[in-house]
Chain A
Amino acid sequence: SQQGEEDPQALSIQEGENATMNCSYKTSINNLQWYRQNSGRGLVHLILIRSNEREKHSGRLRVTLDTSKKSSSLLITASRAADTASYFCATDRNGNNRLAFGKGNQVVVIP
């Protein structure tokens, strides 16, 4: 069953703007991860946030986790054309690294 579920939106923004996407899940988790996928390619890991963390930063990325609402958000600041991709959240329920992926958010950054 799908655990992570992003808001099914396609985002189109201008270069330099911020992009925010959300992910909700149904059961308790051990950690939540965000991945990026360029068209027709494999996924690339962006950031991992554990269930006892509320916020994490990595470069231009900011991830928040609200376990009471069972949701997470990914913010990309000062977007670039190279950020054009699909972004997936994935949850690990049991700490065994068996991930459940959401359907993904497509982000288009217009130069």
Chain B
Amino acid sequence: DGGITQSPKYLFRKEGQNVTLSCEQNLNHDAMYWYRQDPGQGLRLIYYSQIVNDFQKGDIAEGYSVSREKKESFPLTVTSAQKNPTAFYLCASSLQGDGYEQYFGPGTRLTVT
């Protein structure tokens, strides 16, 4: 059963705490992405990785960090430096290169109080 999974579905944290969101795929995709979605808004790219052990900042990387130690996994850490972390976080993967669709996970809704 191929796909991309994110856990947990809902996450609650206190302000000042770091939190790590999980993203796993078994689609054998080289490229993986993290997006943030705020209510009524489109997706904004946080980080992306085109190959293991390599990743690049997206449009809103400040306050976030990632790692890509395995092809299947691309965890996102929301640090205490992120000023407004409450949002819906979406992970995606794709084949690398031109013109491939992205496959999305179900998302993690993070609430920080």
Contacts and interface: CB of A to CB of B under 8 A. Distances in A.
Interface of A: 1-2, 4, 30-31, 33, 35, 40-45, 48, 50, 88, 90, 92, 95-104
B90 A43 contact: yes
Interface of B: 31, 35, 40-45, 48, 50, 58-59, 88, 90, 92, 94, 96-107, 109
Contacts, number: 68
Nearest to A6: B42
A88 B102 contact: no
Contacts of B94: 97
A1 to B, nearest CB: 7
B41 to A, nearest CB: 6
Contacts of B44: 101
Nearest to B94: A97
B62 to A, nearest CB: 15
Given A97-B94, A98-B48, A45 B102 contact: yes
A101 B43 contact: yes
B97 A97 contact: yes
A42 B104 contact: yes
